[in-house]
Structure 1
Amino acid sequence: MIRTTSSLRNGLARAIVRGSARTNIVRSIVIRCLHRKHQQRIQHHSALRFIWTPWQQQVRLYADYPDHIKVPLPALSPTMETGTIISWQKKEGDKLNEGDLLAEIETDKATMAFETPEEGYLAKILVPAGTKNVPIGKLVCIIVSDEPSIAAFKDFKDDAAAAAPPPVAPPPAAPIPSVPPQSSAALSAAPTPAKVPSIPAPSGDRIYASPLARRLAAEKGLNLQSLKGTGLYGSITSKDLESAVVAGAVQPGIAAVGAPGGIDIPVSNIRAVIAKRLLESKQTIPHYYLSVDIKMDAALAMREQFNKLLEKDKIKLSVNDIIIKGMAMACKKVPEGNSAWLGNVIRQYNNVDVSVAVSTDSGLITPILFGADTKGIVQISKDVKALAAKAREGKLQPHEFQGGTITLSNLGMFGIKNFSAIINPPQSIILAVGTTEARLVPAKNDKGFTTAQYMSVTASCDHRTVDGAIGAQWLAAFKDLMENPTTMLL
């Protein structure tokens, strides 16, 4: 019995020793393989002239940080490629609720509100206010779920973007095919705005203010340049205007840089897109122009009558409201005018969505009055006023200015008699409206003449979709509706 126990004990000991030896051998082999692979990696990086140790010390893996959400710059409009962060409405460490206003971003169309995508805390702002031409998808900030995690991101940097090799710049001739050869002088001057350096924070050469502050300053005649902002990164808010001293009206949002013989004004995203689209329109769309004078006595009389009836409701119709209705009804009579060139097809729209050109401090924008053919003049008036106010405040949503089937541009209030407008692609017609003026008309009476109110209009048409005869029919229908405005009710 004793001998059997001793034999079992010795066998167990030998098994343990063999297992340990086998484990040590395997471990030794694995370590040697890893060491050899490590040496090869160092030699490989050395051959590529990379320094291994400093790179290894600088890069901190995302796994080393607490759970967090990386927030990239979103596309706030269908044509947006880059954006300018005007201001951050939250600062690092602030509590974020879903839907809170996080930042104001200037897109290619307007200044848009960027809402908080997730609840949590703003741990790190990676792109400071004032940074221009931030590409879509660029990491702009970090959000964490709990407050103690904020400290871990104090020195956080977007190492992933920094470590990536810089992309090869495309040849400068790539975007030029649409420009004719004779425009070489203009091309040499085109890159000038790009020389204006982007700045990480507000400085003396540009005024940073919220859209509301800009509008209030323009209305009250306040000089934004003389104010000191208390908002994020020194941006001016509406509260800063309360103690401001009136020092003469200024044009908000424009930074002028001194230059020999003049000033250089940086090109905003909106202005750059306007330039691009108008150049494309004039170069690629075969414009032709049709002008006609319209007798406005009946339309003005109807407007005066309606305004008296609506005086209790504090509604005042404008000539522009009647013109919009007339354009919409003309499109129903001549539907070829309510079309768009889409390359392989010509799309003829069922509804008439009138884009109305509105001038803002940032540039021209065309908010859309949807379904103008189905709305009364009172509703048109309300909608146009609301859209114009939102456009000047930079609060239009993308769907409110992207699209439209026909455009109205009215410069009559500035005393312009007539002009020709540039088509808003891919639409087929834009109507340019001049002022209404009194004219002498021959008549069979004692004086031999009478007076009448006439308005000059010019329709710019796309010859690819609207032939000359069709354009003339559309303009004749519009003229008939304006001279007999009650027929719009039929």
Structure 2
Amino acid sequence: MLRSFSAARCAKALLRHAFEKRPSSNSIRRLSIARPTQSQKTLKPYGSAFSKSSIQCVYPASSSVFSRHVRFYTLPPYTEIDLPALSPTMEMGTIASWVVKEGDKFEPGDLLAEIETDKATVGFEAQDDGYIAKILVAEGTKDVSLGTLIAITVENEEDVAAFKDFSVDQATSSQPPAAPSTPTSTATQQNAPSTQYPEHEKIALPALSPTMTVGTIATWAVKEGAKVEEGDLLADIETDKATMAMEASNEGYIAKILVAEGTKDIPLGTLLCIQVESEADIAAFANYSAQETPTQTAPVPQPSTESGPAGVPPPVHKPPTTKYDAAPRKPEGRIFVSPLARKIAIDKSIDLSQVQGSGPDGRIRQQDVLRYLEQVPKSPPPQTASATAPSSPPAVKPVPGGDYIDIELTNIRKTVAKRLTESKQNIPHYYLSVDCDMGNLSKLRKEFNTSGDVKLSVNDFLIKAASLACLKVPEVNSHWQDTYIRQYNNVDVSVAVSTENGLITPIVFNAHTKGLGAISNDVSSLAKKARDGKLQPNEFMGGTFTISNLGMFGIKNFTAIINPPQSCILSVGRSREECVPDKSQEQGFSVVTVMTVTLSCDHRVVDGAVGAQWLQHFKKYVENPTTMLL
């Protein structure tokens, strides 16, 4: 016969025994936190300390003696980190390196790992804060499929230890058993195709860049009813980096477009359009809406009122896009919110009590606030005048300084502003300048442009000189990684290009191995694609060194902001004529063409003397350009 008591009664008995005589080996029983059987009754304990487990006191009816042996069979709430799509064509990836270790704390935007895709090695950044509880895919693992569980994160540091022996099998087996199927069961409807519509494919907003969380429909390249082939352009999506092309993965017909052209800040995974195989099925989707999609609302497991095993709580997944209720919800206690989400809420004057959180324990994250901004209509201003009073235009407060216009920020402009602000605030910049004699370079360039088919620019020579100088002083060709410095053997030069939407830095890969003609062709092609918004993520993400040239605008010299995680950036001014002392000339001076360059350095990586050595090598290559050709 077994007896079950509340946690309070168990605790009292345990304390009473602690002050009595030491029990004999035959009288020791146990107090455990365990899964009860059908013949045992589970009573929820009092107090928040035991809010996640059920406690039972198990002992024979004739015994009144307990021991203090406690076992834990449940895990704290956790978040699964799956391998994301870091390029539009990525199907699998390789874990090149883990930047964090188990137990490490991370913040939004911190680099978690470097993933080798089909295009390049790109950084995988954190979208929220927390602690790395378990790394499930080891560094160096190759051909990892998209969506594979690679790590587990938790919010509290004390929860890390609970995942010491966690495995992928536990993650898949931790899902609660499905409820018995009923005619109205939501779980039954989730994976079943809708019976009201013909067979169709739902096209959702994909991740077109590694750091993309929301996107804007710049233009639709197709209309409802249009036929598409595999690889055809469906829409131009404005991401945080550039305007990217979203292509069709299968052939068919566009039955319904659900998100209008120009819609901004659309969360990843939002349903954009419906595609069907047969043209005859298009008419069936004339009145289709996103709310009718059964997969848009995930089933919420209801707590069982019957006694059952206390299993592992399900992992926290990113919720699908759903409509928010405009009516405010009243929080029953403290509102848990990530720092980034709180900052956005303050900037946008959002009442966090109205936002539904998707994180562990209802924690509000960045994507929750962004979805709320997109889907909750703005409330009309309160009416202070009488309903019968004639309407009058609102009074406009005069602004000192005259008329003005407000220019809405693009996603690219927001990203540039954020990254450069962080760079200037967090990186200890210092600057080194030197004047270069451009006489020999100008003569050689003129000869090449006269006899060759490729027209070389001064910037082409500077890219080549900078790449060779980086080989001479490899400390400059490095990335700061918080706990170590990564020094590269290849030199990938990022070239700053100004576009209508903002600054972007396409990359000339392996510039140290290319000739001047190849560099010129690469720069011309990349600059055109950048201004047309056609750059792919692998063409502008990465780079080991950056050059920014404003000489064509008549700028004499300037200091550029470092593009993290790079360690240096070279700012180039215009070429100009100056008089320098020259005893060989009758008048005692000569006129030379000089150009001022300034190297911005991260003092954490590049010391002052190291930066000066790099400029010496760069100056030598520029003033004796034939040495670059050897």
TM-score of the aligned structures, taking structure 1 as reference length: 0.69
**AA of the residue aligned to 2:591:** T
Alignment partners' CA distance in 2, 1:340 and 1:299? 31
**AA of the residue aligned to 1:489:** L
What whole-Å deviation, never above 9, does each CA across 1:372-408 have from its counterpart, x for those lacking one? 1001111111111111111111111111111111000
Alpha-carbon offset, residue 353 of structure 1: 0.6
Is 1:128 aligned with 2:260?
A: yes
Is 1:327 aligned with 2:462?
A: no
Alignment partners' CA distance in 1, 2:193 and 2:324? 20
**Residues 389 and 347 (structure 1 numbering): CA distance in 2 closer, same or farther, change over 3 Å?**
same
Q: Report the count of equivalent residues.
A: 364
Alignment partners' CA distance in 2, 1:283 and 1:175? 21
Question: Does the aligned pair in 2 maintain the 1:356–1:407 contact within 8 Å?
Answer: yes
Structure scoring higher RCO (CA < 8 A, sep ≥ 6) equals: 1
Aligned equivalent of 2:447, options 297, 305, 322: 305
Alignment partners' CA distance in 2, 1:341 and 1:382? 30
What does 1:234-273 correspond to in 2, within 5 Å?
261-273=403-415
* SS of the residue 1:479 aligns to: helix
* SS of the residue 2:447 aligns to: helix
**Corresponding position of 1:427:** 566
**Corresponding position of 1:480:** 620
Question: Does the aligned pair in 1 maintain the 2:557–2:574 contact within 8 Å?
Answer: yes
Alpha-carbon offset, residue 344 of structure 1: 2.2
Is 1:174 aligned with 2:340?
A: yes
TM-score of the aligned structures, taking structure 2 as reference length: 0.54
**Residues 372 and 190 (structure 1 numbering): CA distance in 2 closer, same or farther, change over 3 Å?**
farther
Is 1:104 aligned with 2:236?
A: yes
* SS of the residue 1:275 aligns to: helix
Is 1:446 aligned with 2:586?
A: yes
Question: Does the aligned pair in 2 maintain the 1:352–1:405 contact within 8 Å?
Answer: yes
Alpha-carbon offset, residue 64 of structure 1: 3.0
Alignment partners' CA distance in 1, 2:276 and 2:538? 32
**Corresponding position of 1:466:** 606
Question: Does the aligned pair in 1 maintain the 2:572–2:596 contact within 8 Å?
Answer: yes
What whole-Å deviation, never above 9, does each CA across 1:133-179 have from its counterpart, x for those lacking one? 111111101111112222222211112547957499975853688x9
Question: Does the aligned pair in 2 maintain the 1:434–1:456 contact within 8 Å?
Answer: yes
| Structure 2 residue ranges without an equivalent (≥5) | 1-180, 186-191, 299-321, 330-334, 351-369, 376-397
Alignment partners' CA distance in 1, 2:336 and 2:212? 20
Alignment partners' CA distance in 1, 2:512 and 2:337? 48
% identity of equivalent residues = 57
Alignment partners' CA distance in 2, 1:190 and 1:400? 37
**Corresponding position of 2:210:** 78
What does 1:337-416 correspond to in 2, within 5 Å?
337-416=476-555
| Structure 1 residue ranges without an equivalent (≥5) | 1-36, 43-59, 180-186, 200-258
**Corresponding position of 1:92:** 224
Instruction: Answer 1 or 2: which has greater helix percent.
Output: 1
Alpha-carbon offset, residue 302 of structure 1: 1.2
Alignment partners' CA distance in 1, 2:576 and 2:203? 56
**AA of the residue aligned to 1:408:** I
Alignment partners' CA distance in 1, 2:217 and 2:412? 14
**Residues 175 and 425 (structure 1 numbering): CA distance in 2 closer, same or farther, change over 3 Å?**
farther
Question: Does the aligned pair in 1 maintain the 2:256–2:275 contact within 8 Å?
Answer: yes
Alignment partners' CA distance in 2, 1:475 and 1:198? 50
**AA of the residue aligned to 1:423:** I
Alignment partners' CA distance in 2, 1:460 and 1:176? 34
Question: Does the aligned pair in 1 maintain the 2:266–2:374 contact within 8 Å?
Answer: no
Is 1:142 aligned with 2:274?
A: yes
Question: Does the aligned pair in 1 maintain the 2:479–2:567 contact within 8 Å?
Answer: yes
* SS of the residue 2:340 aligns to: coil
What whole-Å deviation, never above 9, does each CA across 1:109-143 have from its counterpart, x for those lacking one? 22211111221111111101110111111110111
Alpha-carbon offset, residue 345 of structure 1: 2.2
Residues 366-375 or 90-99, more deviating: 90-99
What whole-Å deviation, never above 9, does each CA across 1:309-360 have from its counterpart, x for those lacking one? 21xx2x2111111000000000011111111011222111111110000111
Question: Does the aligned pair in 2 maintain the 1:130–1:198 contact within 8 Å?
Answer: no
Rg bigger for which structure?
1
**CA-based RMSD:** 3.1
**Residues 126 and 407 (structure 1 numbering): CA distance in 2 closer, same or farther, change over 3 Å?**
same
Aligned equivalent of 1:280, options 390, 399, 422: 422
Alpha-carbon offset, residue 190 of structure 1: 11
Alpha-carbon offset, residue 188 of structure 1: 6.4
Aligned equivalent of 1:292, options 434, 440, 444: 434
